[in-house]
Amino acid sequence: MSAPIKTPAADTLPRPAGLAGLASDWASDQRTFKNVSWGKAMMWIFLLSDTFVFGCFLLAYMAARMSTTVPWPNPSEVFALEIGGTHMPLILIAIMTFVLISSSGTMAMAVNCGYRRDRRKTAILMLVTALFGATFVGMQAFEWSKLIAEGVRPWGNPWGAAQFGSSFFMITGFHGTHVTIGVIFLLIVARKVWRGDYDTERRGFFTSRKGRYEIVEITGLYWHFVDLVWVFIFAFFYLW
């Protein structure tokens, strides 16, 4: 009687190289999400879906701008401020961009301190990030109030194409809502970090396994995405 034929285990089989290996990993789901928590995987899926939403908004804006026969308002004039008698185009937008990009740096440092289990620095850096975000939202509210006072509405504006108002309020409003949600999320997680919930495994929202600060990284993923989206809004809406 012949001995049974042994088949090699799946883990010992040679993996394809290049694009074939990438396709094999994603198709079999053996490697892609094996060592990734559900929280991080779900955040990546949410960000992917949100990318399509923002992409559709920006494509609709570009289509409206290129198809209108009425002159489009000049962003350098619309978003200018008079400071000390000096006409300064896009000064507020430049400051808003600097604030939001700076918040990505503090968020990255918070994630680093979180994985080193430095509770105090992690919480402080997250609070600083939330302060940057709240400052951005405050400046955006000032920008909205200024344009509304000057006559900009979703159905028209005094400088030209009527689509300008609807595009502006839809895109910046949707992004500002994301920033506001991010600030709230940062404040909640920072409080839990400061309180030591991730060391004592205290029950409640946004908890994780004892000794793990992965929620800080998940918060960082969301925040970096919000910052990246603003770069595209800044380029397409304010510089074009």
**pLDDT tens per residue across span 151-180:** 888 888 888 888 898 999 999 999 999 999
Mean pLDDT is lowest, of 47-51, 103-107, 140-144, 148-152, for 148-152
SS (H, E, C) 119-157: HHHHHHHHHHHHHHHHHHHHHHHHHHHHHHHCCCECCEC
| Number of structural domains the chain divides into | 1
Q: pLDDT digit string (tens) for 199-235?
A: 776 666 566 555 577 889 999 999 999 999 999 999 9
Asked if residue 8 is part of any domain, the answer here is no
Tell me the pLDDT tens digit for each residue of 111-135: 999 888 888 999 999 999 999 999 9
Beta bridge partner(s), residue 156:
153
User: Against a cut of 0.95, is the pTM above it?
Assistant: no
Range of the domain at 227: 37-71+87-238
Give residue 240's pLDDT: 82
- Which of 78-87, 146-155, 215-224 has the weakest average pLDDT? 78-87
Residue 18 belongs to a domain: no
Q: Is residue 76 over pLDDT 90?
A: no
pLDDT at 182 over 70: yes
CATH number at residue 214: 1.20.120.80
Is residue 12 assigned to a domain? no
Residue 204 lies in a domain: yes
What is d(CA 65, CA 35) in angstroms, rounded to the nearest whole number? Answer: 45
Q: In this structure, is residue 186 part of a structural domain? A: yes
**Cβ distance 64 to 239 under 8 Å?**
no
- Residue 222 covered by a domain: yes
6 part of a folded domain? no
Question: Which own/partner contact pairs does 100-104 have at CB distance under 8 Å and 24+ positions apart?
Answer: 100/132, 100/133, 100/136, 100/179, 100/226, 100/227, 100/230, 101/227, 101/231, 102/132, 103/128, 103/129, 103/132, 103/133, 103/136, 103/223, 103/227, 104/223, 104/224, 104/227
Query: What is d(CA 106, CA 99) in angstroms, rounded to the nearest whole number?
Result: 11
Domain assignment of residue 109, yes or no: yes
